[in-house]
Chain A
Amino acid sequence: MKEKAVLIVDDEAAQCDNLADILTEEGYVAYSAGTCAEALALAREKQPAAAILDLKLPDGNGTRLLADLKKLNPDILCIMATAYADTDSAIHAVRHGAFHYLNKPLRPDELLQILERAFDLVRLREEREASENGRKLLLAELTVRNRELEAAKNYVKNIIDALSSVLLSVDREGRIIEWNTEAEKETRMAGENIRGHHVSEFFPCLSRQLDSLRKAVDKGQPFRWEKLPVEVRGEKRYKDVGIFPLTADGYQGAVIQIDDITMRVRIEETMVQAEKMMSVGGLAAGMAHEINNPLGGILQSVQNILRRTSPELPKNEETAAECGTSLQTVRCYLEKRNILNFLESIRESGSRASEIIHKVIRFSRPGESRMAPHNLAEIADRALELAAHDYDLRKKYDFRGIEIVREFDPEMPKVPCMETEMEQVLLNLLRNAAQAMESGLSVSAKTAGPKPRIILRVRREEKMARIEVEDNGPGMEPHIVKRIFEPFFSTKQVGTGPGLGLSVSYYIVTNNHKGTLAVESEPGKGTRCIIRLPLFRSLP
């Protein structure tokens, strides 16, 4: 404790000295003043904890001084010394903040007792102040700690926000407690809006996993699901979901991790598709040899038969004569019985089979031709020529009856591609378009409906070349569009083709050229095939 300073204010110096002696003896430090002015000066300088004030002073009265001292130090404990006659003033002083009053002449024992009580009060106040300071100190420390905690919390939050997974902590029933930014993005809800909500409100895919959640929490065992199919805003997506129980400190809840793996699944599907194609191709290459031999036998036999019944070889005439007839008679018979036409059909069928084999083989040997910059418009024109020729030859479709619209961007740069392959792809698409319109026409009245038209477009996108083959044919139902790239899937009549055209095209565009091939179709409106090829080759 500090020194026990007491201010004595009395205009009688003897009285002051007497009191000071008594107080000093008792361990107090006494300061004496004879006037109000002196008293205030001393109080300012020495800051006494207590004061003994005479009510009557030469330059004022004690009550007034009391008020002034209180202004300097509101805690000062003032004992008013008063004559019997002035008791009322003393009581007034006590009402206005004096600690006590004593009648004059002061009795030392009484004064000391009161002073003792006063300083008890001072001590108590000091102690209280000390504890108050302690509390403040504690509070300050708490604030610092809180800040540290906040920083640590933010750091952990940063970590979980940096993860690309959706992370949610939930209680045993699936109510959301904490979440990361990815979860906000996924729910399209910010901040507090999702706290306390049930997890299945935002992630319907989890509604079937709630039992597992409880089990995970109760048994303390994590659960995982891979490739959970979900509908997100009408789109089919795939999620990996993990439930990891939080069991420390008796806590009953779990962390749910959700990863969108749609991209990966799609890549895998593409790979599977490509592999399927490869296996079809591999199988085809193996079969080709086996089929080419008998095909050779068929075609060459037909050629020999036709030659050996034609007037061109002199030996034919000779042999006919040996048999007692003439080549003319033999030919007459063959023609009348239509045999020459049958032979021609054998030749045609054999050629067609050979063409199919040839296509299948092409498909199994990608990258035969080299990538080089080519003018797509030229390739497209060549494909158009081939298509026209193709249909004239077969007399199945009248390609000339189809209006061809060419919309080629004149600014189109050359595009790295394999010329013959792209020609094949475009020929395929043109052929499909022509056939689709032909079959559409045979269904509806041939005179009604729009005139068959194919629009061929070549234009540039930022980093891709875009080729479109659009027809105004009958279009396709979505379930057919879905299967259109499958090998051996065909909507055409059996015998028209092996159903490989589009899957070969798909393979050429996506695998060999790293481009994309998409089909958009609407029943009754037509079909549009869109090829996109990279304008720049990526480094291997």
Chain B
Amino acid sequence: MNLQRAFEFLAGLLFGLGLMLAGMTDPSKVLAFLDLAGAWDPSLALVMGGGIAVGLGAFTVAKGRSKTLLGTALFLPQATVIDRRLLGGSALFGVGWGLAGFCPGPALVSLGLGDAKVWVFVAAMVAGMLVFEWLESRAHRALSQGV
């Protein structure tokens, strides 16, 4: 295993540990954050705040570099467009998040936390991603055929 793979493993491990420590892997806590009109648990605002506090420094450094610390290619997103696709997709994601209390990362980590219901959510999420691929390839075909 090369050094970069080891660090990628470590980043995944840390990310999972952070999600559990933060309380993000408990859907009832996530929903308590999203329930502004009920007994509101503001904890998750601090999760995002903590993440961004570190991230701001890291991405400021990253923007000034063309290579990683290991000398490999560094990819920063180039898209800046704010369109219906971005907003519509995000809106659907928020509805799903509000229904179950799971977003993708915590759902994957929770696979190891022993509730069979998590597998149902993750299977449906993967199915949703495959539906997107299917719709995309159909749209591309239609476009190339001039339909």
A, B from the same assembly: no
